Amino acid sequence: MSTYQEFRAYSPFYDAVMARISMTDERGGEFFALIPAMSGKSYRKAKAEALEMIGEAMAQGCQPGEVMRT
């Protein structure tokens, strides 16, 4: 798995602090997922799931952008 970046900011859309988990593919395209910026075990689990979804999207050759659960 490549390295990832994590940014936290308040989202007026969600009315909460959200974490943007982001990775880039070999072409420089950004794939990202938004998760609530909580703390502890539940946050680590949510971040691991987001990274897995991003990795799968990249492996499947999807277009860069937001990766969401279906």
Range of the structural domain that residue 32 is part of: 5-66
The Cα–Cα gap between 60 and 36 comes to 26
* Residues 39-66: tens digit of each pLDDT: 889 999 999 999 999 999 999 999 999 9
The pLDDT assigned to 2 comes to: 66
Q: Count structural domains, the chain.
A: 1
Chain segment 14-39, per-residue pLDDT in tens? 999 999 999 999 899 999 999 999 88
Q: Enumerate residues 6+ apart whose C-beta is below 8 A from 54.
A: 4, 21, 23, 31, 32, 33, 67
CA triple 13-23-36, angle to 5 deg:
30
Q: Which residue has the tokens 């860069």?
A: 64
